[in-house]
Chain A
Amino acid sequence: MIRINGSAARLPDDPRVSLLDLLRERLQLSGTKKGCDQGACGACTVLVDGQRILSCLALAVQYDGCSVTTIEGLAADGALHPLQRAFVEHDGLQCGYCTPGQICSAVGMVEEVRRGVPSLVTSDLCAETIALTHDELRERMSGNLCRCGAYNGIVDAIAEYAETAR
């Protein structure tokens, strides 16, 4: 069994089914998007036990017993998650296809910063706390591509959310 947004779901019998296809094709949770299906774009990003991963490169059977949060699970009882509100306010999207992945990724990213995980642009690797500067934010979100180029709004939305979540 696997938990998706708090509800138990059965794992597929066929081990070839990706976590992405389990969500979209079998559980009708189409919020998570299939972009490249080869780990290059980040559109399929979901949270597994709080960690952001790419659901297109995940065989669903590997996640037996895990707890998955998708974009549908972030909006509790129909109210937008604070980061979703920030994306609306800052025009963090145009076509919207990359948005669920951007948002799940950013939620995981802010948690990584809180935990003190360094990034490539962190100058002091041993620093106990890391400030989420513009450069840090961009580097940490580099796994999520936006073909519309809405990056300025995306960065502003995430920066605002990170500030309030702190």
Chain B
Amino acid sequence: MIPFTYTRAASVSDAIRLGAATQAKYLGGGTNLVDLLRETIEQPSSLVDVTGLSNTIEERSDGSLMIGAAAHNTAVAEHPAVRRRYPVLARAILAGASAQVRNMATVGGNLLQRTRCTYFYDNDSARCNKREPGRGCDALDGFNRTHAILGTSSACVATHPSDMCVALAALGAVVHLTGAKGARTVPLTGLHRLPGERPDVETELEPGELITAVEVPALSFAARSTYRKVRDRASYAFAIVAVAAAIEFDGATVTDVRLALGGVATKPWRAWAAEAALKGKPATAENFRAAAAAELAGAKPLRDNGFKVQLAKRTIVAVLAELTGVQG
């Protein structure tokens, strides 16, 4: 690790003041950042520890849930309101990492964790446009079985690794930010950028801006929701394909639906095309397949990850079948 200073922020305003320093970084649970420091992929001059800021999980009168950014993953997954009203969120969190990591990791940090692309991590010998803009991407023609098929560019094909974010994308979560210019909100689906020509710029955050909370809006039909993660081993592995889904279903027709994908895209991927194809339609296997096909129509497979197109479609269909009881 390159030397840095460490300060524990006592309040949001304290954090913003400290975070305005050049090359400052906010520190949550450290489960990703400490590793990146050790690999010298991240080289901040100062760390501002924000784990002492709000970690409350509050059910508000409008039915929404406000989660302080310092809340630990475990605390969110075990919260009674999350388990009862947003099972997709509880299951997505519990599908991620291990219990030890979930006990350390924070919600804010989860949103800003970086890709686990092996070429991004190979600081010694691989080219990576996220680490060194303009240098090139060795994943494009390399071993890219785990890489993205949606939202990619000629500069970057790395997946966003979070499970929690996929559920939050499906639920229409809103991210609360505070920076030097004050407070604002962005939808979770608008927080992360597509890589385009600048894969090193991963979010819409301004320099020094801090995530203070994540708001999950009221969504009555989210009680019928789930998260399915397909991976190379049964536990403690990143997703090859993941599907978050919530469905409003009157026994025959899909009156409303939320779908998002993980493991296949460069950002938490809200499946808008699949939702549009399914909403208002009879809940049939044929319509599930058509919705999945609509979402994957724009997929751009690489040398080793073409299988993800079929796997994603089948996983979407299987999850919709599970939630409706309609045979997929």
Contacts and interface: CB of A to CB of B under 8 A. Distances in A.
Interface in B9-52: 27, 29-31, 34-35, 37-38, 47, 49, 51
Nearest to A140: B99
Contacts of B37: 16
Interface in B69-114: 74, 77-78, 80, 83-84, 87, 90-91, 94-95, 97-101, 103-104
B1 interface: yes
B27 to A, nearest CB: 7
Contacts, number: 101
Contacts of A139: 234-235
A143 B30 contact: no
17 contacts: A14-B3, A39-B31, A52-B103, A53-B103, A61-B6, A62-B30, A62-B49, A109-B99, A115-B78, A118-B90, A120-B91, A120-B95, A125-B90, A143-B97, A143-B99, A143-B100, A143-B236
A16 B78 contact: no
A: interface residue count bin: 35 or more
A137 to B, nearest CB: 12
B90 A142 contact: no
A61 B49 CA distance: 10
Interface string A143-163: 110000000000000000000
Contact of B99 (A15, A108, A116): A108
Contacts of B8: 62, 64
Q: Which 7 A-B pairs have the closest CB atoms?
A: A143-B98, A15-B6, A142-B235, A125-B83, A142-B236, A120-B94, A16-B1
Contacts of B94: 118-120, 122
B100 A53 contact: yes
Contact of B100 (A54, A117, A138): A54
Interface string B212-252: 00000000000000000000001110000000000000000
A80 to B, nearest CB: 23
B74 A58 contact: no
B78 A42 contact: no
B35 A39 contact: yes
Contacts of B101: 39, 54, 57, 143
A42 B236 CA distance: 11
Interface of B: 1, 3-6, 8, 27, 29-31, 34-35, 37-38, 47, 49, 51, 74, 77-78, 80, 83-84, 87, 90-91, 94-95, 97-101, 103-104, 234-236
Nearest to A101: B100
B237 to A, nearest CB: 9
The CB with the most chain A CB atoms within 10 A, among B3, B34, B38, B99, is that of B99
Nearest to B47: A15
A57 B4 contact: no
A54 B3 CA distance: 22
Contact of A118 (B47, B78, B97): B78
A52 B236 contact: no
A62 B27 contact: yes
Given A15-B4, A16-B1, A57 B98 contact: no
B51 A62 contact: yes
A109 B94 CA distance: 14
A132 interface: no
Contacts of B84: 125-126
The CB with the most chain A CB atoms within 10 A, among B3, B27, B83, B84, is that of B83
A35 to B, nearest CB: 13
B100 A105 contact: yes
A58 B104 contact: yes
A118 B35 contact: no
The CB with the most chain B CB atoms within 10 A, among A42, A64, A138, is that of A42
A81 to B, nearest CB: 19
Contacts of A16: 1, 3-4, 37
Contacts of A57: 29-31, 34-35, 101, 104
B5 A15 contact: yes
A19 to B, nearest CB: 10
Given A18-B34, A62-B30, A116-B78, A142 B98 contact: yes
Nearest to A45: B100
A51 interface: yes
Given A54-B100, A57-B31, A62-B51, 17 more contacts: A15-B5, A18-B34, A38-B38, A42-B98, A54-B101, A57-B34, A58-B30, A62-B8, A105-B99, A112-B99, A118-B77, A118-B78, A120-B235, A122-B94, A125-B87, A139-B234, A142-B235
